[in-house]
Amino acid sequence: MGGPSFRKVGTAVRIATAGSLASFILIVAFVLFVIHRRRTRRHHEMEEEEAEFGKLQGIPMRFTFQQLEVATEQFKDKLGEGGFGSVFKGRLGEERIAAKRLDRAGQGKREFLAEKTHRLLVYEYMPKGSLDKWIYCRHDNTGPPLEWRVRCKIITNIAKGLSYLHEDCMKRIAHLDIKPQNILIDEDFNAKLSDFGLCKLMDRDMSQVVTRMRGTPGYLAPEWLTSQITEKADIYSFGLVVMEIVSGRKNLDTSRSEESIHLITLLEEKVKNNQLVDLIDKNSNDMQAHEQDVIQMMKLAMWCLQIDCKRRPKMSEVVNVLEGTMDAESNIDHNFVATNQANFGIAGNVTSSAPPLASHLSGPR
C-alpha cells in the first residue's frame, strides 16, 4: 500500500527539482543577458568615443599603450605625480615627451590618448618643470632668482594662453585650475598652461555656468561661493599667480606670521598704505632695481583680483597692457578679500605683438 504513495512523492520531488533547476537556469540566463547587454553598450560607447576623437581637429597623432611602454621604458623615470595620475619621461623618435598615466577611473575622457583600459596623455617634455620651482624662495642653490625680464616673459605667456582659451576657441574654455604647478617652463623659459582636467566648456551665448566647486584652495575666485562662474574665475587666479611671481612667495604660506599668511590680504593692506614696494621679491637685486616696473605689474594683478568679476579685464586686454598697447584700469576696488573667502584661498613691455596661439598651451600630442 505504501508503494504508490512513495512513487507519487518521488514524482513530486522530481517535478519540484526540475522546476527549481529551470528557474535557476532562467535566472542565470537573465544575468548573463544583462551582462552581455552592458558589455555591448559599453563597447558601443567606446566606439562612439573613438569616433568622437576622430572628429576632433588638431590631434596630430595617437599612440598604442605598447608604444608608450617602449617610449617610457616601462614607465621607469617618474617626473612627478598629481591628483589625476603620474607623469613619466620618455622619447618618441627624436622628440622627448612626458606621458601622464591617468590613475583615477573616469578622468580625462575627452582629453586622453589611450588604448581601452589604459588612459594616457602624451605631452611635450618641458625640461625646466613647473613654475613653482622657479618663483618661490629657492633653497636648492641651483641658480639665482629669475630676472625681471624673464618674469615678464612668463607672465605674458600665461596671459596669452588664457586669452586663447577664453576668446579664440569655438567655445569659451575656462581652465579653472590656474596655479604655478600647472604652468610648465621650457628650456628658454617660455611658459605654457597645462593640466586641463578641471576645465569647463561654455557656449558663447552663455553669460555664466553653474558647476560644482573645482580648483585649488588659495586660487579660487570669490564667485565660487555661489557656484556660478565664468572664465573670469581664471583671471582672478591669474592675478594671484602674478603676485606670486613678483613677490617670490606662495599666496598661502603657513610658515609666515599670522598677518602674512595670505598674500592677497597682505596686498590689500600694502596698497592702502602705499607700501607695495614691501612685496617685491627681496631675494632678487634685479627685481629691486626694477621697482617701479614691478609696482605697475602689481597694479595689473590688482585689476584682475577685484571681487566683482565684471570689473576684471578680459585676458586680451591684459595682453595688450603687457605689450604696451593700452593702459591698465586705474579705478580699482582695493578690497580683494570677500567674506568667507579665507579658504579660497607694467612696465617691462614685451616687444612681441603676436596674437595668442594654441602654442601657449601644453596639450596632448
What would the pLDDT profile of 36-54 be if each residue is shown by its tens digit? 888 777 666 656 655 655 5
Confidence check: pLDDT of 166 > 90 = yes
For residue 262, the model assigns a pLDDT of: 92
CB 156 within 8 A of CB 322: yes
Tens-digit pLDDT profile for residues 250-267: 998 888 888 888 999 999
- The model carries a pTM of 0.73
> Three-state DSSP class for 309?
helix
Closest residue by Cα to residue 304 from 295, 296, 313? 313
Which segments of 174-314 does DSSP mark as H helices, in order? 232-247, 263-272, 285-289, 291-304
Choose, from 77, 132, 140, 177, the residue flagged as catalytic.
177
- Per-domain boundaries in the chain: 1-55, 65-124, 132-360
Task: Tell me the angle at which helices 263-272 and 232-247 cross, rounded to the nearest 10 degrees.
Answer: 80
Tens-digit pLDDT profile for residues 57-109: 555 578 888 999 999 999 999 988 766 678 899 999 888 999 888 775 444 55
Cell of 159: 596671459
Cell of 4: 504508490
To the query of whether residue 177 is one of the catalytic residues in this protein, the response is yes
Tens-digit pLDDT profile for residues 197-244: 777 777 766 656 666 677 788 888 898 888 788 899 999 999 999 999
CATH of domain 132-360: 1.10.510.10
Cell of 58: 588638431
| Most confident listed range (97-106, 145-154, 215-224, 338-347) | 145-154
Amino acid letter for position 172: R
Confidence check: pLDDT of 346 > 50 = no
Q: Which residues contact 316 (CB under 8 A, 6 or more apart)?
A: 163, 166, 167, 356
Closest residue by Cα to residue 314 from 323, 322, 304, 324? 304
Q: How far apart are CA 300 and CA 348, in angstroms?
A: 12
CB 338 within 8 A of CB 216: no
Q: Round the average pLDDT of the chain to a whole number and report it.
A: 81
Closest residue by Cα to residue 102 from 129, 75, 125? 75
Place of cell 605625480: 81
Q: Which helix (H) or strand (E) holds 335?
A: none
Q: Which helix (H) or strand (E) holds 46?
A: helix 2-55
> Three-state DSSP class for 78?
strand
CB 233 within 8 A of CB 176: yes
28 vs 352, residue with greater confidence: 28
Which segments of 56-139 does DSSP mark as H helices, in order? 65-71, 132-135
> Three-state DSSP class for 158?
helix
Q: How far apart are CA 323 and CA 308, in angstroms?
A: 25
CATH class in words for 65-124: alpha beta
Cell of 167: 576668446
Q: Which residues contact 157 (CB under 8 A, 6 or more apart)?
A: 190, 191, 192, 360
For residue 45, the model assigns a pLDDT of: 64
Confidence check: pLDDT of 295 > 90 = yes
CB 76 within 8 A of CB 63: no
